[in-house]
Structure 1
Amino acid sequence: MNQDPFQMDSLGASKEHVLVVDDDFGTLECLEETARVMGLAVSAASTGEDALRIFERDQPDLVVTDVRMPGMDGLTLTQRIKTLQPDCPVIIVTGHGDEETAVAALKAGASDYLRKPFQLLELKSTIVRSVSLVRSRRVEMSAALSVERVESYYELKNEPELVSGLLTCLLRPVDPWLSETQRLHLRVACQELLMNAIEHGNLEISAEEKLQAVLADSYERLLEARRADPRLNRRRVRVWIKHDVKERRFVCRICDEGHGFDWRRFVSASPSQMLERMGSGRGIFLIQTLLSECRYHGNGNEVTVTIHYDDQSQAAGLHAPSSGVSV
């Protein structure tokens, strides 16, 4: 008897865990049964809220979710999942009239989509593609564990829309050495630092200007105007990273070519004062809360972040300027 080509065991890896989400019982039952027959471990939810709770608790490898659901829809669920676990593949299931939402979900990080009514073969093929992504990522993580030292230098244009993808490349060597919480904290903090370097540093967009532009739906115009300024468009963000297993730490140094800022006044502010700020200083408070070591240098346009692989406390603290970490 021929073996089912879509049987996950035939792909030669341990059993993956898929979370299926749909408010229609018939569709949910079909998704659940198909994944189980394929050899996957399965969890099911009929609402986005329940799905998010299951995801946070069980950390499944793959999510298949309907777009249109009462309460939390598939787009919002995808966004929340990608915040928690950027590498988790999400398959969006759409119906007629959901095309715009599906496109938004794909832009938010969904890896694939199915359109109702779908054929069983189409469902299985889509799941196999996403499981292959999971397994490729697992191989990458295993390979990364054999790399004991990495030193890299990057020079970046002022393109905020590319920061998220860039971070995936920058942080890949260190991913296997960190807990889920450390990975999330490091990614959020580095994203904040890179965005600050581009917007506030190189392009000289103040927190107040950005807030007003966002509220007026004119942020893209503001960004393009600054990038077209001959005085600003040649500026670059420079990033040095060092991953060292023997030293058990990851160091990232970020420099912009702006005028800097008085970071010392933010260090001396109390948590309540920082939280009250609408724009300026809130990013520093976020970084200060998430990371154990973050050092600003000189006039504030250079910052060094250090994370220790065995540091589980993540105690907050910005430090006075030092000679810097040699990367």
Structure 2
Amino acid sequence: MKILVVDDEPSLREFLAESIRSQGYEVLAACDGCEALELFEAQNPELVFSDIRMPRMDGLDFLSAIRDRNRETIVVLVTGLGNEEFALEALRRGANDFLRKPFTQQALFPLVEKYAGIIATRSRLQETLNFIVRRSFVMSLDNHMERVPIVVQRLMLETGEAIPADQRLGVRIGLVELIANAIEHGNLEITYEEKMAAMNASLDGIQNLHQQRLAQPHLAARRVTIDFTMDSEACTWTITDEGSGFDWTLLPSPLDPENLEHPNGRGIFLARLHFDSVDFLGAGNQVRVRKLLPRPPAASDGKPASSSASPAASTPAPAP
């Protein structure tokens, strides 16, 4: 897997590149968006870490250039204190995640591992499910985090080509986040404070914490159930864990830039960007997400299409 690192600060660029390289990945490095775009076009990396504030071409323009060329590349924007509004704009433009400076290898490595798993399990087979009118099935998953990307790839395979190509990566990442939350915070009862303490303790701290919880039979026996349905209008996934739930009304607002700094609800925050609805049910141990599907074009009646745009289509996007 090729990973592109972009930052105008030599020390941070070198730290990022060497840290990722130490995990066995091929790393490309660039000092600004212009140089990075040349590398991107020549090398086609699967994962990009890019600073936002850079000379010549900043991270937002570089992100837009990537999305013009490839919707499947995973892009993580690196933000500094006070750049929360830029981070939100990056997510609106199609960034998949963000990493806030200053950061440690304990924060970096789980992010790289998560997206490496998603990239490794992308299907290269011809999808043949495009004529299904309605389908549904249920999966039951144990609490081994390394299986989550494979399960999500299977879930995405069931959708055929119903979800537009430029939205599939976002949906895939959103499902990974929500299922991981169901395992970690639901079934294994790991609090956000415990997770952060484990990540800060050592590079394998979070893995050790997982193993400690899995050693408890009553936690290890729990399952995550994923109920999937697809019809002509939408794909719907209902994810249920066997934990005690939580008060979902206390989740931070995804529209508040200050919440970019909080680890609480990070996965849910990112998931909200990729689904048309995210609803918590019951005690909070069940979440239902829905992705609306494009309507098929109406049959032609021989009349020329109207040249006037609909009000919704002509409404400009809200300012960041």
TM range (shorter): 0.5 to 0.7
Specify which of 196, 207, 213 is matched with residue 211 of structure 1: 196
- Number of residues of Structure 1 aligned to a counterpart in Structure 2: 202
Match of 2:294, SS state, is coil
Match of 2:129, SS state, is helix
RMSD: 3.5
Change (3 A) 1:232 1:109: same
Gap runs ≥5 in structure 1:
1-44, 62-82, 86-104, 112-132, 314-327
CA distance in structure 1 between the partners assigned to 2:267 and 2:116 by the alignment: 28
After superposition, residues 157-168 of structure 1 pair within 5 angstroms as 157-168=142-153
Give me the TM-score of the superposition, normalised by structure 1: 0.54
CA distance in structure 1 between the partners assigned to 2:116 and 2:268 by the alignment: 31
After superposition, residues 1-327 of structure 1 pair within 5 angstroms as 47-48=39-40, 51-52=43-44, 56-59=67-70, 109=119, 134=124, 137=125, 139-140=126-127, 143-215=128-200, 216-217=202-203, 218-245=205-232, 248-266=233-251, 271-277=256-262, 279-310=263-294
Aligned identity (percent) is 30
Match of 1:307, SS state, is strand
Instruction: Kindly state the Cα deviation for residue 106 of structure 1 after the two structures are TM-superposed.
Output: 8.8
CA distance in structure 1 between the partners assigned to 2:166 and 2:38 by the alignment: 27
CA distance in structure 1 between the partners assigned to 2:184 and 2:267 by the alignment: 12
Change (3 A) 1:48 1:231: same
Change (3 A) 1:257 1:106: closer
CA distance in structure 2 between the partners assigned to 1:266 and 1:199 by the alignment: 17
Letter in 1 for 2:291: I
Change (3 A) 1:212 1:293: same
CA contact (8 A) 1:84 1:184 kept: no
CA contact (8 A) 1:192 1:283 kept: yes
CA distance in structure 2 between the partners assigned to 1:290 and 1:107 by the alignment: 19
Could you say which structure has the greater relative contact order, defined with CA pairs below 8 angstroms and 6 or more residues apart? 2
Cα displacement string for residues 186-220 of structure 1 (whole angstroms, at most 9, x for unaligned residues):
11111111000000000011112222222312221
Instruction: Kindly state the Cα deviation for residue 175 of structure 1 after the two structures are TM-superposed.
Output: 4.1
* Structure (1 or 2) with the larger CA radius of gyration: 1
Change (3 A) 1:108 1:244: closer
Change (3 A) 1:201 1:181: same
CA contact (8 A) 1:175 1:183 kept: no
Change (3 A) 1:195 1:262: same
Gap runs ≥5 in structure 2:
1-36, 45-61, 73-93, 97-114, 296-311, 314-320
Instruction: Kindly state the Cα deviation for residue 107 of structure 1 after the two structures are TM-superposed.
Output: 7.1
Give me the TM-score of the superposition, normalised by structure 2: 0.55
